[in-house]
Structure 1
């Protein structure tokens, strides 16, 4: 079978070998578990995930069913007999520390434009939509969570804020629920502006069992210092903000938009 090329990979170290299984597959993304950790193969044009690898071309990963074997060797990943070569892969950092810090100008720009930007065309049943449209099935839970966040901030009570954030874990549909994406956005700002508080919030969220395993892995990776390049670009003063917002906000059904909502909350209150 002809080998497909991994053209870009994250900087996270893969072991010299390993045996795993496919977790979930989509047309342009395949998640697999190896040595207890989740990794992703992504089609060309997709954003590099914190533990991801970009495959040249646009392979259709839906042909790989959940549960099929994944084998890692010294220079390739083999999924159900299909090799993906790692030999020529360029390494791109998904470390949060390599994409910042956001300077005060960047924070000011975000504070000035993000609220209006998020209101333009919010995805149905995402965080913003649920907060502003009572017809959303998630509106009651999102609004309860929002009120708890606001009350904690007004009181200046960090313990209450951590508890309020924990209540958002697993809130919403999909592989990464809206509440988790919101928390990730909060953390990415707090990582630079209030790192101890951000770590407390995410440590509590990442170790809970009330969300999906994909989302839990996303939060755990962030706590370890890694995140999607889509989101890191929003805070990186070396990137064009409007372009970064457009790319991040379009990710998933509402995931990117939800993450930006969390960033806005942290920018306004962090």
Structure 2
């Protein structure tokens, strides 16, 4: 049975589709429907834009055909009832991000060669960042693309719909894996895995406990994908102007001014 589906997968599950299984892993099976990639994921996997969370991960095989009729998704020897609830991530807006707690942001900056390279390149802009880390590293989602996805997610939250076309074009230019390209494309639309949105919200609100919990969930994703995604968000936030919140200014007294 399908529990829920991210924004990038939900529409596909609500109409007739046909596709194939392109890869199978311990906790996920990736299906391609035309140009769209969907991941069937096991119980306990975090929600995400292309994730279809199932009560039990079906026994998919690479290359098998998959069809859907809007209420049922089926392979050769399995079927899932759905389409389930729609999940999407929400992020703070530019004013909330400007009043973030930078001490919490710094906690997400873990050591790493790719992170150092990203930090050096980011000052020269997003194109320079893509050139420095895009597609860099092994795995389904290379470390460089995880960092890039974090930066892009923050840029989309800060810039709103007006920057989406530009971010989408930049992400489409990255020479990377099919899975990484799908997650980058959705980051450009403001969608990522659930703990990324939870962490951004907690950092913007200055909620240390919630930020720590969300960061721990991020660090549990993959071998190091979540760590690089979190570091990318931290780098992205570091590029944004910052102002002290009204609450902080009131607590500190009349001598405190805006910091930008």
Question: Kindly tell me: are residues 7 and 113 of structure 1, through their superposed partners in 2, closer, same or farther at Cα, counting changes over 3 Å?
Answer: same
1:147 and 2:112 correspond:
no
Q: Distance in 2 between matches of 1:146 and 1:117?
A: 13
Q: Distance in 1 between matches of 2:113 and 2:185?
A: 26
Report how far residue 231 of structure 1 moved.
Answer: 1.2
Q: Distance in 1 between matches of 2:156 and 2:37?
A: 23
1:211 and 2:176 correspond:
yes
Question: Kindly tell me: are residues 34 and 81 of structure 1, through their superposed partners in 2, closer, same or farther at Cα, counting changes over 3 Å?
Answer: same
Q: Distance in 2 between matches of 1:214 and 1:72?
A: 21
Deviates further, 256-265 or 218-227: 218-227
Kindly provide the CA deviation profile for residues 73-115 of structure 1, in whole angstroms up to 9, marking residues without a partner as x: 121111223001106x233224xxx343376489532x20343
Is contact 1:190-1:197 (8 Å) kept? no
Partner of 1:91: 86
Q: Distance in 1 between matches of 2:173 and 2:94?
A: 29
Q: What runs of 5+ residues in structure 1 fail to find an aligned partner?
A: 120-127, 132-141, 153-160
Partner of 2:24: 25
Partner of 2:129: 165
Q: CA RMSD in A?
A: 2.6
Q: Distance in 2 between matches of 1:220 and 1:16?
A: 22
Q: Distance in 2 between matches of 1:233 and 1:8?
A: 18
Q: Distance in 2 between matches of 1:243 and 1:16?
A: 37
Partner of 1:81: 77
Report how far residue 209 of structure 1 moved.
Answer: 5.4
TM-score, L = length of structure 2 = 0.78
Report how far residue 170 of structure 1 moved.
Answer: 0.3
Q: Distance in 2 between matches of 1:213 and 1:260?
A: 21
Report how far residue 53 of structure 1 moved.
Answer: 1.3
Where 2:11 maps in the other structure, the secondary structure is coil
Q: Distance in 1 between matches of 2:213 and 2:98?
A: 14
- Map 1:1-270 onto structure 2 (within 5 A): 5-11=1-7, 12-14=10-12, 15-57=14-56, 59=57, 63-86=59-82, 89-94=84-89, 98-101=90-93, 104=96, 108-109=100-101, 111-119=102-110, 128-130=111-113, 144-150=117-123, 152=124, 161-167=125-131, 168-195=133-160, 199=164, 202-208=167-173, 210-237=175-202, 240-270=210-240
Is contact 2:156-2:189 (8 Å) kept? no
Q: Distance in 1 between matches of 2:146 and 2:117?
A: 17
Is contact 1:170-1:210 (8 Å) kept? yes
